[in-house]
Amino acid sequence: MVTEQDIRAFHGELMRIKAEIGKDMVGQEDIVDGVLIAMVAGGNVLLEGVPGLGKTRLVRTLGRVFDLPFSRIQFTPDLMPADVIGTNIVVRDQSGGARFSFQPGPIFSSIVLADEINRATPKTQSALLEAMQEHTVTAGGQSRRLPEPFFVLATQNPIEQEGTYPLPEAQMDRFFFKLLVPFPTPGELVDIVLMTQKKEDQTSQRCATGEDLLRMREVARGIPVADRVMRAAVSLVAATHPKSELGGEAARKYLRYGASPRAAQALIFGAKVRALMKGRMNAALEDIHALACAVLRHRVALNFEAVTTGVTPDAVIGALLEEQAGKGDG
Amino acid sequence: MAEAFVRALAAAFCAGAAASLIVVLASHILPWGMDWRYALIAGASLFVPALAAGLILMRPGERDVARRVDALGLCERAETMLDYENDDGIFARMQREDALRALELLPKSRLRLSMPRRSLALCLLLAAALCAMSFVPNGNQDAIAERRLKEETDRRRERELLEKLEEKIDEAGLADELEEKAKAVLDELQKALEKAGTPSEKLAEISKAQDKLKTLEEEAAKKELENAGKALEKSNAAGELGEAMRKGGAKGMEKALEDMQKELEGLTGKERSERLGELAGAMDEAAGGLPDSSSIGHAMSELADALRKAASGDGGNEVGEGFERLEKALGEAAGGKSAALDDVRQLMEDLRRAAAGQGGSESGGEGQGEGQGEGEGEGQGEGEGEGQGEGEGEGQGKGKGKGSGQGEGQGSGAGAGSGEEIDKYESIYDPSLLGGEGDTEYVPGKPGENGEPQRIEMGDAEVRRGMIPYGEVYGSYVEKARRAMDREGVPEGMRDVIERYFSSLS
């Protein structure tokens, strides 16, 4: 049961978490905000960026700040599903008999870093599907529930595409956000270098628990959304469909297919969390606009024309937002 | 609310300015008598209802106000508050508190009146367009101004002609009763012309007045003949002529004059001188009883002078000429024509031309007439007809017939004219335009004594079949149709149809 106190405490708690993460993370505020929003909303995040931008560090920091079990899986082409989920092994009991015992894989953590996820084979990638969506894994015909909260933070490298296996659309759709990790500014770079020269590298402290995170999720769920904001989110998602009557001009021109209903859900829930994060008690169009790219960029597929002319999903989404604003929907 | 009023005001200004601009633009395309007042009236008449409609339609609702406030940085707080106003849940309550707090914190300076920039820009654009239009020369307006000037000139000309007509009637020396009637006809005509809107209506009124004056003229001629006849009857020498004049028959008068001449030819010496003197006295007496303008009176006075000269043995030839002139004057009077009203008749024609918008101040021009002559008896006679021409000029008709006696001619003429009222470039087919240069034309007649057919020379003529400007014949065709309707007894129901047809042509 959410109380008024929980609601009032939300913003402060989140700011405290953010501040604590900030002790270990230099810059990347948008990424931190995005990850926090996704965590509160119960979604998974796909981080895309070149190596060395602090992706792994962010996940580790999150685990420390929330005091949650953290595991990291380095995806490689020879990684097998059992390496992720776990497997049944034969163990001898005290009476000398043999029996199968399930040995949980690294997925049985609250925060899982799937590093370079696109380097694993589709078979192994798909092992994550059930875990990401249902928060369960099935091994040896038996489904096992993953600990709550459960959060997958996958990374992929936009360069070195050789020998990689692009994530299937179904799996991409499971990611709440896809965040592009930018290269730090020169000032941030200096801070990063200085931070790593310290003797004690890790300074962030635990300031929230998994229960806090789940309670915050409940709080966010109740945030009111005006009809107009809801319509704007839905219209935007509908506008990404090139063959739909509601499809936008930019979508017809540059997209092969549009976002799924999960995108609308992610937009609204994300907007609610962001509203609370900004100290508001209602989701606003501003939240929809701020999260549109993160929610939609991995859920739409560019067509040949867009690829050849260098049009990015973000550019298409930006154009769709402008179209919506022009119609008075956004 | 104030913002809605400003928006409605701007929209109303736009509507009004647009209406004015449309009127101004239309005046450049359509042949309107444009006046900037019309543009102003059009603008004002649209402005008021547009403002009223704007105030009603643009009155902001709750949601509009919420959206407007949210646009000031409240991030949909107000709209959300409205959407959840009936929700008593903790989230809705806290959201309301948050929205109200944000509203309280909203700086008053941000609550400024937002001007409808687009509407104001449109207003300025339309106003600039209106101003610009005032510098664009309007060909239509020049033509219309010219036409108005022409109409005004025509009206002035009509008034002058009517005044002149009144003067001429005064000068005609008509009997009081006739003069009164003639003036009444003029008064009636003047009023009718003021009421008439189109040239065809004016022409119709003038035709009516002409008919009435024609009747009066016939009455005047008859009166002249009667008065002169009565005076002559007193004399033994001219009693027969007097009686014939009183009866009014042209043939009788002619015969009486012939007898009188024969009788004089049969007399000699003193007896002849006495008779000539007696006749001169009778003529003088009869002429004295006629108006100064009377052609019969003049002819009688001249004959009296000639008779007196002949009585004194001088100027024998002049007696014959005097008889001829008297015969002619009597013939005209018998035909209902009074010389006293010649000027009136001419002025009426001028008035007709002015009304048709075809005439200038001059009555000269070209006219062509057709005539028909009828003869009776044997020998060869010649009938003369009169024609009336429309447009500039008058028509003359000449009828020729074979026979003896008198020929009567009737003519109708079609005159060439130019008019502004009716587009002169619109042409219609005219089947027989006589005149111009061409080979001599002959009309074959009966075989003569030598067996060769007699020929009647028509003179240099050619039948020009072709198109002539509509305006040149419109007036005369209307008039012909009107006269034909009066004459032919066209059924009442059909009269309107014909009237409408000709009205539609104008």
pLDDT at B150 over 90: no
Contact with chain B for residue A147, Cβ under 8 A: no
Of the two residues B413 and A45, the one the predictor is more confident about is A45
Lowest average pLDDT, out of A296-300, B73-77, B157-161, B383-387, goes to B383-387
Of the two residues B51 and B171, the one the predictor is more confident about is B51
Query: Which pLDDT tens digit goes with each residue over A88-97?
Result: 888 888 888 8
The C-alpha of A4 sits at a distance from chain B's nearest C-alpha, in angstroms, of 7
Interface contact flag, B77 A4, Cβ < 8 Å: no
Mean pLDDT, residues A247-254? 92
Contact with chain A for residue B69, Cβ under 8 A: no
pTM score, two decimals?
Answer: 0.54
Q: Between the ranges A169-183, B230-244, B488-502, where is the mean pLDDT highest?
A: A169-183
Helix (H) or strand (E) holding B383: strand B367-386
Band (A268; pLDDT cuts 50, 70, 90): very high
Task: Name the residue among A63, A21, A27, A36 with its Cα closest to residue A274.
Answer: A36
pLDDT at A283 over 90: yes
Interface contact flag, A226 B91, Cβ < 8 Å: no
In the chain, the amino acid numbered A215 is R
Query: Which pLDDT tens digit goes with each residue over B432-474?
Result: 445 445 555 555 666 655 666 665 555 544 444 456 667 667 7
Mean pLDDT, residues A205-230? 91
pLDDT at B314 over 80: no
Q: What is the pLDDT of residue B377?
A: 34
Mean pLDDT, residues B256-266? 82
Band (B170; pLDDT cuts 50, 70, 90): confident
Mean pLDDT, residues A38-46? 93
Q: Considering only alpha carbons, which residue of chain A is nearest residue B94? A: A281
Query: Which pLDDT tens digit goes with each residue over B86-128?
Result: 888 889 989 988 989 888 888 877 677 667 788 888 888 888 8
Q: What is the pLDDT of residue B444?
A: 60
Band (A297; pLDDT cuts 50, 70, 90): very high
Task: Name the residue among B341, B370, B361 with its Cα closest to residue B178.
Answer: B341
pLDDT at A68 over 80: yes
Q: What is the pLDDT of residue B426?
A: 56
Contact with chain A for residue B95, Cβ under 8 A: yes
- Token pair, residue A89, equals 């092994």
Band (A167; pLDDT cuts 50, 70, 90): confident
DSSP A173-216: HHEEEEEE-PPPPHHHHHHHHHHHTSSS---------HHHHHHH
**Are B479 and B207 a contacting pair, CB within 8 Å?**
yes
Of the two residues B434 and B288, the one the predictor is more confident about is B288
A173 phi and psi, to 5 degrees?
Answer: -65, -25
- Token pair, residue A187, equals 């000032």
The C-alpha of B64 sits at a distance from chain A's nearest C-alpha, in angstroms, of 12
Interface contact flag, A224 B84, Cβ < 8 Å: yes
Strand bridging mode B427-434 / A175-180: unpaired
The C-alpha of B102 sits at a distance from chain A's nearest C-alpha, in angstroms, of 10
The C-alpha of A314 sits at a distance from chain B's nearest C-alpha, in angstroms, of 23
Band (A233; pLDDT cuts 50, 70, 90): very high
Query: Which pLDDT tens digit goes with each residue over B202-240?
Result: 888 888 888 888 888 888 788 888 888 888 888 877 888
Query: Which pLDDT tens digit goes with each residue over B10-19?
Result: 888 888 888 8
Mutate to test the interface with A, among B80, B84, B85, B100 (most CBs of A within 10 A): B80
**Are B347 and B386 a contacting pair, CB within 8 Å?**
no
Interface contact flag, B90 A284, Cβ < 8 Å: no
**Are A309 and A81 a contacting pair, CB within 8 Å?**
no
Query: Which pLDDT tens digit goes with each residue over A51-62?
Result: 888 888 888 888
Mean pLDDT, residues B337-360? 70
Q: What is the pLDDT of residue A231?
A: 93
Percent of chain B with pLDDT over 90: 0
Mutate to test the interface with A, among B85, B91, B105 (most CBs of A within 10 A): B91
The C-alpha of A224 sits at a distance from chain B's nearest C-alpha, in angstroms, of 7
Q: What is the pLDDT of residue B294?
A: 79
Which DSSP letter does residue B341 get? G
B180 phi and psi, to 5 degrees?
Answer: -60, -45
Sequence-ordered list of residues with C-beta below 8 angstroms from that of A8, at least 6 positions apart, any chain = B94
Q: Between the ranges A15-29, B18-32, B358-372, where is the mean pLDDT highest?
A: A15-29
Strand partners, B381: B401
Task: Name the residue among B421, B346, B389, B394 with its Cα closest to residue B155.
Answer: B421
Interface contact flag, A229 B95, Cβ < 8 Å: no
Q: What is the pLDDT of residue B362?
A: 35
Helix (H) or strand (E) holding B88: none
Percent of chain B with pLDDT over 70: 73
Of A224, A228, A284, the CB nearest to B91: A224
Alpha carbon distance B56, B53 (integer Å): 5
Alpha carbon distance A215, A220 (integer Å): 9
Which DSSP letter does residue A288 get? H
From chain B, the residues in CB contact with A328 under 8 A are none
pLDDT at B420 over 50: no
Alpha carbon distance A13, A19 (integer Å): 10
Band (A177; pLDDT cuts 50, 70, 90): very high
Lowest average pLDDT, out of A19-23, A131-135, B479-483, goes to B479-483
Verify cis geometry, omega within 30 degrees of 0, for the bond prior to A149. yes
Band (A34; pLDDT cuts 50, 70, 90): very high
Of B79, B91, B92, the CB nearest to A228: B79
Contact with chain B for residue A288, Cβ under 8 A: no
Mean pLDDT, residues A266-270? 95
Q: What is the pLDDT of residue A217?
A: 93
Interface contact flag, A282 B92, Cβ < 8 Å: no
Strand bridging mode A151-156 / A111-115: parallel
Mean pLDDT, residues A173-195? 87
Task: Name the residue among B122, B164, B132, B126 with its Cα closest to residue B20.
Answer: B126
**First-to-final CA distance of chain A:** 33
**Are A169 and A255 a contacting pair, CB within 8 Å?**
no
In the chain, the amino acid numbered B138 is N
Q: What is the pLDDT of residue A262?
A: 92
Helix (H) or strand (E) holding A102: strand A98-104
In the chain, the amino acid numbered B100 is L
Alpha carbon distance B183, B352 (integer Å): 18
Lowest average pLDDT, out of A292-306, A312-326, B319-333, goes to B319-333
Angstrom distances, CA of residue B11 to CA of A81, B60, B133, B408:
69, 15, 21, 77
Rg (CA), chain B: 41
